[in-house]
Structure 1
C-alpha cells in the first residue's frame, strides 16, 4: 500500500482493536462480518470506486455503507466501516485489502480471547509445512480452472478435520491471495500475523536432529536479543541438511547447515 492507504489502515486498525478488546471472543464473528464486506467490495468495481472516490464527500460514502449494510451487520461494525470509507485510499483495491486485514485481525483477536491463539498459530505453521511438501496440492490451489469457491472447498476438505475452526476461517481467506503470493506465502503471512498478535517473532528452524531443551533455550534467547522481542521457534527436523541448522526470521536467513557449507564450497571450486 502507498502512504495514504497505509495511514488509513493504521488508524482503522487502532479503532477496530478497541472494539475487539471490548467484545472478547465475539471478535471472530464480528470479523467474519468485516470479511464478508471485503468480499462484496472486492467483487464490485463500481462500489469500490464509489467508496474510494477522493472527490466524494466522506459523509456521503459513510451513508452509502450504512445503507448497504443495513441490519445485516452489527451496528458497531457498521460505524467503524463508515469511518474506514471516510479515510483516504491511494487506490481503490487498497480498500478491500484493508478490510481483509482488519477482518483477519478480528479472528486472531477472537482466538486470543478464547485462549486458542497458540493452537491457531501451530495449525498455520503445520499447514504451511504441509503445503511446502505437497506440490500437487499447491498446483491444485493455483490452477486457472479452479475458482475461489472450489479452492475454499478444497481447503475445507484438506484441513477442516485437522485444525481449529478459527484456523479454518483464516485458511479459507487465502483464496484471495494465492494468485499473487502463492499458497505457502499466504499461509505464512497468516502465521506471522498470529505471532505478531502475541508480540512475538516467528523463527523457522530446520535442524538435522531434534534440539535439546537447552539448545532451544539458547537459540530463543539469542534471537530475542537480536530482534528485541520474544521469539517463537517452529522447528522442523530434516536429516537431509546433514548437520547444523538453518534459521529463518522473515527475510533473514542464517544457514549453518553442513549441506549449505558443502554447496558453498562446490560453488567456490567451480567458480
Structure 2
C-alpha cells in the first residue's frame, strides 16, 4: 500500500507531463489536491489498487473506473483527463509512482519539505506540533506534515522526510534483534 509510492522511470515521465500541464494552466494546486485525495484513497482502498494494477482488467475498463472515481471525487478536469490517458495507455498500474513523482516535482518547485509520520494510533495536535518543530529544526524548513496510522508497526514512529526514513518503530527494533540473535 504505502510501499507502492516509489518513483519509477515511467511514473516520473508521466508525473513530469502532468506537472508541466498543471503549471502551465495555473492548476497546480488543484491537481496536487486531487492527487493527495487519490493517494489517500489508494492507501485505504484495496479495490482501487486492484482496479489500477490487475493485469486481467482491460485498459478500457480501468479508464472507465478511474474516470468514474474522478467524477465522483469532483477532481479537476485536468486530473480527470490525465487519469483517463494513463489508463488508456495501459499505465494505470503506475499511478502510485506518478503521484510520488508529482509530489517530488511540486516540493522542488515550491521549496516545500514533505514529511509523513506513521504511528500505531492517531497522534494528538500537540504531538504533531512537536514532530513538526523537530523536523523544522533538523532540515531548516517548515514541513508539510501528513500523519498515517499503521498498527502493524506495533509501537514507536516512522518519520519520512523527503527520501529519508527515520524508523523508530517497535517492529523494526524487534526485527533487528531477531536478525542479531540469528547471526550470533
Normalised TM-score (structure 1) = 0.50
Give the alignment of 1:1-80 within 5 angstroms.
none
Higher relative contact order (CA 8 A, sep 6+): 2
Match of 1:141 in 2: 52
CA contact (8 A) 2:59 2:90 kept: no
Moved more, 241-250 or 123-132: 123-132
Query: Residue 195 of structure 1 contacts residue 232 of structure 1 at CA under 8 Å; is this kept in 2?
Result: no
Partner of 1:191: 103
Ranges in structure 1 where 5+ consecutive residues have no aligned partner? 1-96
Distance between the aligned counterparts of 1:224 and 1:128, measured in 2? 24
Q: Counterpart of 1:111?
A: 27
The structure that is helix-richer by fraction is: 1
Preserved CA contact (<8 Å) 1:104 1:170: no
Q: Which residue of 2 aligns with 1:223?
A: 135
TM-score, scaled to structure 2: 0.69
Bigger-Rg structure (1/2): 1
After the TM superposition, which segments of 4 or more aligned residues of structure 1 sit over 6 Å from their partners? Answer: none
Other-structure match for 2:115: 203
Residues 190-232 of structure 1: CA deviation (Å, up to 9, x unaligned): 2333444432121121112222323222322332343343321
Matched, 1:178 2:91: yes
User: Alignment RMSD, CA only?
Assistant: 3.3
Report the Cα offset of residue 254 of structure 1: 0.9
**1:161 is aligned to 2:72:** yes
